[in-house]
Structures are given as structure tokens and as C-alpha cells.
Chains A and B, each alone.
Chain A
């Protein structure tokens, strides 16, 4: 499917039409009626003037004249009213369909296989597709206007061709040729901006980014203290200068198109006008017919131009729609639709095994994890510790099925997880990740992640366990209070409160496997200590994986694994690892030194250089 080969790739146009037929067929009907009315309007206007002129020239009676004028006026009134009414009706349906498409794109973005989310190529495709549904000027909405205009212009062209059939066919050929040439030239030149749109969007993106940053009140502190304002303004102004220079260059080039256009129109109209005048002088053409032909010629030449510009617009729009489809139907890496069905059963025992698993990020020179073996038994509390960059997060992503191993297998109860439907597999996990997605909905909906059949009792218990009850009771609307920007009555929670909310959400989901990645980083020591104490109670009966770089936080787990050099460096209980006196013991020593009574504390001079783990 090479879109450049054909003038218009009709596949994409048909795609939009069939989408409209399924989602909102009225769009098609309204467009069709608008075409018919527009055609009737232009024909009426075309014949009205000569008809009236003939009446006056022939000196008809006053009554007759009034009758003619009234007739035309009432036809125009009806047609205009109908056109205005239909436009009003059709507008919102078109917006709705564009937003529907935007919803489809978002759905794809939110559900597609995780490795593609991180793939810069797919990301680019996504960004491009999203740009194409975000305003009224986008192909996805304007295409209906283009199609309507195209049909109308083609019909007008046919009518004028009929009216002008009395003219010399050579003249018509000249008119058509001149119009086609002038259109093609100026269309090519006007396309300069389109061909260089990447450069333009580069500047725009930079300026929009800076405007966004200026609006961002979380940046305001840095702006005040470090005087970022003048830096931001300087970059903005220099980008604006480049942008202006770019636009001026484009407009200068387009002006050549105007010049050529004017010359060709001058020649074309010259030939036409003198031909018409010639007919008049030879007495072949009465005044009224001259007016009719004169106007028809204008409509005719405009018609050719319109048809051509509709086609060129349609071609661009079709490319845009194909860009949207390219993202929308990007093939999935995992089985998102098919695969074996998996229904999480809270009573069942789940075991996870990593069998000789290696993972390498695309384009990376070496494995992040290599030949790793790990079995997590049903109900086991596992802690994963290690330095930044040791592969903790990668390990978690493999366990949760966000990444697929480059080598080896991940097994759930001895079955390769690739057999299952991946969306079902995700249902096995209650997680608190380091970055969380808080929705602009009520607190209740954020905890339950649904807006129907919320189990209030369970929710209150989870809120209590996460230590959020007091905060929620202090809010006027309790759990019905909204978060975020969408609703006017929204409140803002602090970092610690959000983290507790995320914990409540994980507890509410009550999935068989808990995954907690630094879940207390925003809490104060007392709150953190509370969570540690409750940890076993909170995760009772579930498998739980706890990730942290604070070693103390992992002592309540059944087993600790220390990640280093792309694998498991040490494993065992806290006591076992301390007894081994290896890297874990060394790290623990380093952290606990600060807390030991009478310990050395911080001392700049005689600190031993900590060994790299």
C-alpha cells in the first residue's frame, strides 16, 4: 500500500466512510443533502441575473417583473435556510466522530503491548496520529467538508459545461488547460509549507514546550530561585525569530505562485473576454446571454480550480488518515486479544518461575539480566534489593508480563505465560509501582478502578489499612471527592497521601500477587514503620514481591534476593545474608552505620571507600 503512487488513496477515504456508517451514519446523509442544496443554489444564482435582465430589457409589466424577482427570492430563501440548518445539524456529529477516533487511538495507546510503549518508533507513530485528531482543522473532521465540496464542484462543472456548450470547444480547451497549469504550479509552491512542516512543527513544539513550562506552577520555585525566566524567554525569543524567518521564506516562495497565477489568469480571461465581445459585436450574442456566459465562465474556471484543490486536499487528508491507521492497527507483540483465558482465583495457589531468563533492551550492547533463574513459591514474601540500575525494575517487568524475555521463559504454574491472554494475566497482580497513574475521578473510583458496583465495605477497610481514613473524613464529600483537574470540586493530595491511596487501590483489587516497588518512598518514618509492621497482615495469603533499596525495609520478608551484575548475587533471609558477610552485609553495614548509637556516623576523613556491588 504505497500512498504516494496514487493521486488519492481511496482506501483511507473508504475507511472514514465506513467508520461513519457504523458510528454515526447521519454524517453521510447530511453531507449528501448539503451537496444537493449547494448545487441548486449555484444554479439558481447563475440563471437569476440573466432572467431578470431579459425581463427588464424586454420592458415587461411591473407585475411580471415583481413576480420573477419574488420567485427567485423565495427559492433562494428556502435553499439558504435549508443549508444553514443542515450545517448546524451536521457539525456536532463530525466532532463526535473525530473524538470517537481519538478515543480509539487512546484505547490502543493504553492497551498495546508494553514493549511498544517504550519503542521510539511506535511512539512517533502515536504522537503523529494523536496530532491528527486534536482539532477541528484535522483531516478526520475536515474530510467531510472536502468530500462535500468535491461533489458539489464536480456537479457545478457539469452544469457549466452544458451552459457553455454553445462556445467554441477550442476556447473551453484553452480555459481548462490554463486553469490546470496555474493550479498545478501554485499548488506545488503552496505545498512548500506542507513539505517543510517538520521544520515548522519543530519550532512550534519548542515554543509550546516553553509556554507549558512557564504555566507549570511546580516549576515556579525553580524559576524564582534560579532566575530561569530570562533563560526561558531567551530560548523562546530566538526560536520565535527562527520561526518567523521560516514563515517569511515560505510566503516568499508562495508569492511566485501568485505571480504565475495572475499572468495565466490574465491570458485566459483575455482570450475568453475577447471571444465573448467578438460574439457580441458580430451580433450573435444578446446582452443577457453575455451576462450568463460571463458568469458561467467564472463559475466554470473556479469549478476546475475547486475540483483540483479538493483532490489535493483529499490526498493530504488520506495520507493523514493512513498515518492514524498505521498506529491504530500496529501489530501487537503479546497476545492481547487471543490466548488462553485466565480467571484469577483468590483461593488458588500461584507459582511463578523464571527459567534461564535473559533480557536485553533493544539496541543495548549487553544484557540487563542474563541467565537468571528464580522460583517464587505460592504465598511467599520475596524482597528484591540492589543498587540503582541493577535490574530490579526489569525483573519486575518480566514477572508482571510487561516485557518478554529475550531468552528463556517465564512460567505461571509451569505454563509459559505467553500461552495466556496477556490482559487476563495482568489481572493476577495488585501493584504499587514507583510511578502511578492517578485518575481525574472520585477517590472511590480511584480505589475501585470502576464506577459501578463499588464494594463500600471493602473499600473502607482498605482505606483504613492504608491509613487514609482520617484524611478522607476531613473532606466534605469523603470518598466521593474528585481528584485532578476535570471536575471543579477537585482536591489535591500530598505525595504521602497519594501513595497511601495507591496502597488502598492495590488492597482493594486483592489480586493473588502483590508487587510493591518502593511503596513508602513518600511517607515519613513513622508511617513507613507502620506499613512495615502491617505488611504481613496486608499481604496475608498472597504472594508478594517487595522492591526497595532501603535494606531495612526488607527484613520482614521470607527471602531476600540481592540483584547485581544482571543476576541474583545473593539470596536468603536477612540473618543468612548477614552471616554470609558478603555484599548484602556490606551494604547493610553502610546504611545502618548512621543509625547506630555511638557509631562513627558521618565522617568525611576516614570513611572507607564503599566497594561497588
Chain B
């Protein structure tokens, strides 16, 4: 209970910080909308009493006017507040996404890639998307809580007289005794409690099938969603007739077909509980009528007040049920909130502050791995084992090896996406963990194998920012070999990439995208440039052009290339060969080829023979 309150309050604080009006507007709107029918009911009761009683002409006209005017004014006020609330709530979904995005974007890479993070992230998303749970739920609950509290407070004020006014008729005198009033009130309270119990039991079935529902969402997400979205897959889909398997999977696992568990429950116990809760609610209305009418029969008040008391009692009942179900909702929401907060509280593992790099302009930067070993979190095997290597400033290093030899892991450690499990990495003799994280990252520009560009302007993609230096961006694009294409684009740097948002966007090919990604790396002005398979998507001529330009492009920078095309090694003075997580060979091409038993010569031979010898 205390936990629920703590988490819930923290959730509201988050919303308040995002935009306080998201809470103020619905509160005011709910109060006005709840009070307004009470005013009408009270005035109407007075009017009916007048009709049933004195029939005073003046008073009747005055009451009718009051009824009309108050209804008009309150409706208007309510509508204005409702519009205000709509504006504040319209972007609820996006604001909650922004909270999550901000966290994701500020996490360090080890945090993002950690399986627990991904699990939490997908849970947060699924809970919001499929059930509106978590932070999202809090806003609706807030609205409901204000509404019910107002309904109860206002209702009690309007019904005190019901219990106090005495019956005049002798026959019904027992109604005046508190001994009789108490059980009546008790019975009404019991019904009020019973209704949410039943509807809660019905609702619990949804919870019972939560796993099935989540599975269903993933199932439909894939088969009805992603499978058809990517047009690049369309060839494969047709040749292998994947539509057939799609149909079968949708039929086989669909949780909504009548014979599945959920629909069976809906027709059985779940429907039964819903019916019960619907019926029991009417017991309250019946009891209210009985008590109110008997008192009226006994002469405690006039008939008009019957209308007032019954409708107000019903409203109070509604308010109480809403309050109870809101509490229930908040309680059920607690585990989902806990997931949200566990996610938001993931600590950044990398030390965020440390030494500043002051004199990097003067001193050449050298990086040294000292017996660095690395295991991915949660895994038993070392991905990298006892690697010692020095990167000399201004030189080109090629990193080669078979799939899974640890090349990419080496790069991840180098640019501190991960810290080594054992050993250390030194920058000019200082352990990089002592250096300010962001400052260290600023030394690197990397073109990863699976780099991504966003569907915004070309220039923004090169600069990774909304505002950019056009001259510099164009320069980088020319250097990376995109110049010819750039000259063909009438909007030049403002050309949007891809057609996601703009009709005049350009679809770039894999090779072109790679050139843009290289330009992005150049734009960053980093001391180290790392290219992971830089020419995989390029044809021989384009590949040749990139290599020919490489030296000029890199200038004084230190460059690291990863490739399994060994041809790219020929222009590096220095080659590091990785095998099963270890650095097994190091040196210039000629030296490595000469080591006949080494991995390098094996790799070299496998590729070169197709070009050199006559065997096919």
C-alpha cells in the first residue's frame, strides 16, 4: 500500500514536471462537470415541489429561469475547460514517449545493449501500448479521482437533509430512528463495495490472460505488421509463399477465435461476473427509492425532493464506485509503474565526469590496450582475451579476422562503448576510465557496419544536428565521394533522405548511404576514425575510389579499418589479426603473408586464389 502511494506520487511528479497543466486542466474540468448536474437537480426538485405544492407563479418562473441560466453557464464553463484539457492531453502519448526516449538517448551503450534494459524497454512499451498502463494510466486515474471526490462531497451536502428531516406519519415513525437509518446506509455501502468486487473479478480475467495477450500483440505485430512493411522483403515473401505460413500462424495462435481461452471466459465466468455487477448496481437504486419514497410517504418532504434525493444518491453511488475502482486501478498499476521506474533508474555505468583533455591539440594521441579482456554481460565466454596493442598516432591500422573473431568487440572497447572486464586501456598513459566520458567519445568517429541515417535533411544527417555548417558538410560529402550525387540534388544539403516524410525525399542506395555515413564521420573532426567494413556495399570501382581517397581523407588522423576483404589491408602499414578473441598476429602485409602457418596467410589465400592462380 505504502509502495503504491510512493510510486504513484512519483509518477504524478514526473507528469507535473513535464507539464503541470496536464493535471490542473482535468481537475478543474472534472469539478465543474460533476457539480453542474447537482445544481440542475436541486433546482428541478425545488420546481417540482412548487408544482406539487403552492404553485406560486412568481417562484416557478424564477426557478425555471435559474434552471435555464445556470445550466447554460455551467455547460459553457465546462466546455471551455474541457477544450483546455483536450489540448493538454492530446499529446499525452508523445510526452510519455519523450520521457522514455530521453532516458534511452542519454544512456551509455553498455546500458542500452544490456538485455535487462531491452526487456524493460519493451515491457514499458507493451504495457502502454496494449493496456494504457504505467505512467499513462496515472492521468486517467487522476481525472477519475477528482471526479469521484467531487461527486461524493457534493452528494453528501445535498442528501444530509434526507437523513435528518423527520417523518410525520405515525405508521412510518421507525424511519426516524438512527437504528433504522444505519442498516439502510450499511446495506447501501455494502452494495457499493460489492459492485467493484464483481467487476474486479471479471477484469481479473484480463490479467489472467496477460501472457496470452502479450503473446497475441507480438504475434500480430509481426505477422500483421512488420512482415508486410519492408518492401525490400517482398521478393522473398513471394518466392517462398510466406503468405501461407502467415495465414496459418494467425489461425493457429489467434487468442480471439471463439474456441480460445479468452473468448470462452468472456462467455463464461467473466461475462457472469459482469452481469452480476450490473444487476447488483440496481439493488442500490431500488433501496434508495424505497427509503426516499417511504420518507416522502411519511411526509418528511415533498415529491419533488424524491427526484433530488434519488438522483443524488445514485450519483454518490457512482462516485463511490469510481473511487474504489480508481484505487483498484492504481493498485493494479503499481507493478507496471515499478517497471517504468526500474527502467528510468538504470544507472549509467560509465563514469560521466573525470579528467578533461586539455592539450590534445599539441600532443599526438596514442592509445594502448594493456592485457584487456572482455566478456559480454551475462555471458561465460570471453569475447576478447588478453589483448595488448598500441595504436600509434596518425597511422592506419587494419583489423582482420573471421566472423566472430572479436574485431567488432575490439572496436567497441576502443571507443569505450564498453569497459574491459580485465586489464585496462590507456590514452597517453592515462586509464581512459579516468577521463571524462563525453570528452573521450568526442575523439572518435565510427562508421559501423549497421550504421543508420535518419529520414531528415542530408545536411542534418552529416552534421548530426539541426544546424550545420553547409560549407563543411559539402566538403565532407565531396571527400567521401558523394559529390557527384550531391551536385545532382537541386535542394542540395536540405534534400530530405528517404520518402518517409517528404514527397521529394531521395532514396539512397546502400553504397550512397555508406558514403554519407563516411561524410558524417569526417564532419565530426575526431582524432580517430574507425570504419567497419567500409566498402561492403560498393562495387569494385567505387571501392577503388574510396581506397584511393582514403589517405587524403584521413589526413593526420589515426584510422582503424575492419574488413574481411583483405584487399583493404594493403594500404595499411599495420595489420592486426584477431582469432577467437585473441590478437594473434601483427605487422605489415608482407610479413604476415610470409608467416605460412598464421591465420592471415590462410585468409589471404582463400581470397587471393580466385584472383591470382588459375584454379577456379
Instruction: Among B71, B118, B202, B415, point to the contact of A217 (Cβ < 8 A).
Output: B118
CB-CB under 8 A from B231, the residues of chain A are: 117-118, 123
Most buried by A among B235, B242, B611: B235
- What sequence of 0s and 1s flags, for each residue 88-99 of chain A, a beta carbon within 8 Å of any chain B beta carbon? 110111011001
Is A529 touching B76 in the complex (CB atoms < 8 A)?
no
The interface stretch among B143-151, B371-379, B425-433, B535-543 is: B535-543
- Structural contact, A486 and B222, CB atoms closer than 8 A: yes
Q: Is A451 an interface residue (CB 8 A)?
A: yes
A264 → chain B closest CB, angstroms: 10
CB–CB A595/B236 < 8 A: no
Report chain B residues within 8 Å CB of A431.
235-236, 239
Contact between A227 and B306, CB atoms less than 8 A apart:
no
Mark B238-278 against chain A: 1 for CB-CB distance below 8 A, else 0.
11111111111110101011100011001100111011111
A551 to B571, CA, bound (A): 21
B610 near A400 (CB under 8 angstroms)? Answer: no
Given contacts A102-B224, A211-B97, A612-B541, contact A111 B243 (CB under 8 A): yes
B72 and A266 form a contact (CB under 8 A): yes
Point out the residues of chain B lying under 8 angstroms from A388, CB to CB: 509, 511, 538-539, 542
A228 adjacent to chain B (CB < 8 Å): yes
Q: Which residues of B (415-449) have their CB < 8 Å from a CB of A?
A: 415, 417, 441, 444-446, 448
**Cα(A553)–Cα(B464), bound, Å:** 38
Q: Are B52 and A449 in contact (CB under 8 A)?
A: no
Closest to A91 in B: B266
A224: chain B residues at CB < 8 Å are 108-109, 417, 441
- Chain B residues with CB under 8 Å of A73's CB are 282-283, 285-286, 289
Interface status of A411 (Cβ within 8 A of chain B): no
Q: Please tell me if the beta carbons of A49 and B611 are within 8 angstroms of each other in the complex.
A: no
Among B84, B509, B567, contact of A389 (Cβ-Cβ < 8 Å): B509
| Chain B residues in 8 Å Cβ range of A240 | 91, 94-95, 98
Q: How far is the CA of A561 from the CA of B499 in the complex (A)?
A: 34
Interface string of A447-490 (1 = CB under 8 A from B): 00111000000000000000000000000000000001110000
Whether B504 sits at the interface, judged by CB under 8 Å, is no
Residues of A within 8 A of B241 (CB): 423, 426-427, 449
**Closest chain A residue, CB of each to CB of B263:** A92
Interface size class of B (residues with CB under 8 A): 35 or more
Residues of A close to B500: CB separation below 8 A:
205, 209
Cα-based distance from A235 to B105 in the complex (angstroms) = 13
Which stretch from B182-190, B473-481, B546-554 is at the chain A interface?
A: B546-554
Knowing A221-B446, A555-B610 are in contact, say whether A62-B297 is a contact too (CB < 8 A): yes
Q: Which of A102, A266, A556 contacts B616 (CB 8 A)?
A: A556
Cβ–Cβ contact B243 & A219, under 8 A = no
Q: Is A414 an interface residue (CB 8 A)?
A: no
Q: Does B27 contact A (CB under 8 A)?
A: no
Contacts of B75 in A (CB 8 A): 258, 262, 265
Tell me the bound Cα distance from A528 to B609 in angstroms: 12
Known contacts A209-B500, A431-B235, A524-B402; decide if A225 and B441 are in contact (CB<8 Å): yes
Chain A CB within 8 A of B86 CB: yes
- State which residues 411-456 of A face B: CB under 8 Å: 423, 426-427, 429-431, 433, 435-437, 439-441, 445, 449-451
> Are the C-beta atoms of A262 and B611 separated by less than 8 Å?
no
Sort A-B residue pairs by CB-CB distance and give the 9 closest, nearest first. Answer: A73-B286, A552-B610, A602-B571, A594-B567, A592-B611, A229-B105, A84-B278, A437-B233, A435-B232
Which of B215, B236, B247 sits near A486, CB closer than 8 Å?
B215
Partner of A96, one of B218, B257, B441, B568: B257
Neighbour of B245 across the interface among A221, A451, A523, A594, CB < 8 A = A451
The segment out of A3-11, A74-82, A306-314 that lies at the interface is A74-82
Query: Which A residues, 210 to 228, have Cβ-Cβ distances below 8 Å to chain B?
Result: 210-211, 213-228
- A602, B266: Cβ atoms under 8 Å? no
- A255–B79 contact, CB under 8 A? yes
A225 B444 Cβ-Cβ under 8 A:
yes
- Whether the pair A110, B64 counts as a contact (CB closer than 8 A) is no
Contact residues of A between 384 and 414, Cβ < 8 Å to B: 386-389, 397, 400, 402
Total residues of chain A contacting the partner, CB 8 A? 177
Task: Provide the residues of chain A in CB contact with B23, threshold 8 Å.
Answer: none
> Does A145 belong to the interface (CB within 8 Å)?
no
Q: Are B611 and A258 neighbours in the complex by a CB distance under 8 Å?
A: no
Q: Which partner residue on chain B sits nearest A217 by CB separation?
A: B112
Q: Which residues between 577 and 616 of chain B lie within 8 Å of chain A, taking CB atoms?
A: 589, 593, 602-604, 606-612, 616
How many angstroms from the CA of A248 to the CA of B89 in the assembled complex?
Answer: 11
Q: Is the CB of B274 within 8 A of A84?
A: yes
Whether A87 contacts B540 in the complex (CB less than 8 A), given A114-B234, A274-B64, comes out as no
**Quick check: which of A50-58, A317-325, A347-355 contacts chain B, the rest being far away?**
A50-58
* Chain B positions within 8 Å of A110 at CB level: 227-228, 237-238, 242-243, 246
CB nearest to A269 among chain B residues = B68
Most chain B CB neighbours (cut-off 10 Å) among A82, A83, A221: A221
A258 touching B603, Cβ below 8 Å: no
Residues of A within 8 A of B448 (CB): 221-222
Q: How far is the CA of A521 from the CA of B403 in the complex (A)?
A: 12
Task: List the A side residues contacting B296 at CB < 8 Å.
Answer: 56
Do the beta carbons of A52 and B263 come within 8 Å of each other?
no
What are the residues of chain B within 8 A of A117 when measuring CB–CB? 231, 234
Bound CA–CA A496/B101 (angstroms): 31
Q: Evaluate contact between B238 and A65: CB separation under 8 angstroms.
A: no
Q: Roughly how many angstroms separate A87 CA and B272 CA in the complex, as a whole number?
A: 11
Does residue B491 face the partner (Cβ distance < 8 Å to A)? no
Q: Could you say which of A13-21, A162-170, A583-591 contacts chain B?
A: A583-591
Q: Does chain B have a CB within 8 A of A610? A: yes
Beyond A281-B60, A607-B548, list 5 extra A-B contacts (CB 8 Å): A107-B247, A225-B441, A240-B98, A387-B540, A445-B245
Most buried by B among A24, A82, A436, A523: A436
**A529-B606 in contact given A107-B243, A262-B76, A435-B232 (Cβ < 8 Å):** yes
- A602, B234: Cβ atoms under 8 Å? no
Contact B218 A76 (CB under 8 A): no
Contact of A243 among B94, B271, B542, B602 (CB under 8 A): B94
Judge whether A227 and B464 touch: CB under 8 Å.
yes
The smallest C-beta distance from A453 to any residue of chain B, in angstroms, reads 13
Determine which of B101, B238, B403 lies in contact with A211 in the assembled complex, contact meaning CB atoms within 8 Å: B101
Could you mark each residue 224-261 of chain A with 1 if its beta carbon is under 8 Å from any beta carbon of chain B, else 0?
11111111111111001001100110011011001101
Q: Which of B154-162, B323-331, B452-460 contacts A (4 or more CB under 8 A)?
A: B452-460
A-facing residues in B309-333 (Cβ within 8 Å):
none
CB-defined contacts of B97 to chain A, threshold 8 Å? 207-208, 211, 214
Which residues of B lie under 8 Å from residue A440 when comparing CB positions? 218, 222-223
A450–B244 CB distance below 8 A: yes
Taken together as a complex, chains A and B put the C-alpha atoms of A243 and B107 apart, in Å, by: 27
Nearest B residue to A450 via CB reads B245
Within 8 Å of chain A (Cβ to Cβ): is B180? Answer: no
Q: Which chain A residues (488-546) contact chain B, with CB distance < 8 Å?
A: 494-496, 505, 509, 521-529, 532
In the assembled complex, the Cα of A582 lies from the Cα of B477 at a distance in Å of 32
Does chain B have a CB within 8 A of A177?
Answer: no
B282 with A400: CB separation less than 8 A: no
Taking a contact as CB atoms closer than 8 A, the residue among B446, B544, B593 that contacts A590 in the complex is: B544
Is B607 a contact of A525 with CB atoms below 8 Å?
yes
CB of B551, distance to nearest CB on chain A (Å): 5
Candidates B171, B254, B570; contact of A594 at CB < 8 Å: B570
Q: Measured between alpha carbons, how far is A251 from B274 in the docked complex, in Å?
A: 36
A128 CB–B CB distance under 8 Å = no
**Cβ-defined contact, B540 with A604, below 8 A:** no
Asked, given contacts A110-B237, A224-B109, whether A287 binds B227 with beta carbons under 8 Å apart, the answer is no
Complex contact B83–A251 (CB within 8 A):
yes
A529 to B547, alpha carbons, bound, how many Å? Answer: 24
**CB-based contact B466/A231 at 8 Å:** yes
Distance A223 CA – B109 CA, assembled complex (angstroms): 9
Q: Decide if A80 touches B278 in the complex (CB within 8 Å).
A: yes
Chain B residues whose C-beta falls within 8 Å of the C-beta of A95 in the assembled complex: 256
Q: Does A206 contact B (CB under 8 A)?
A: yes
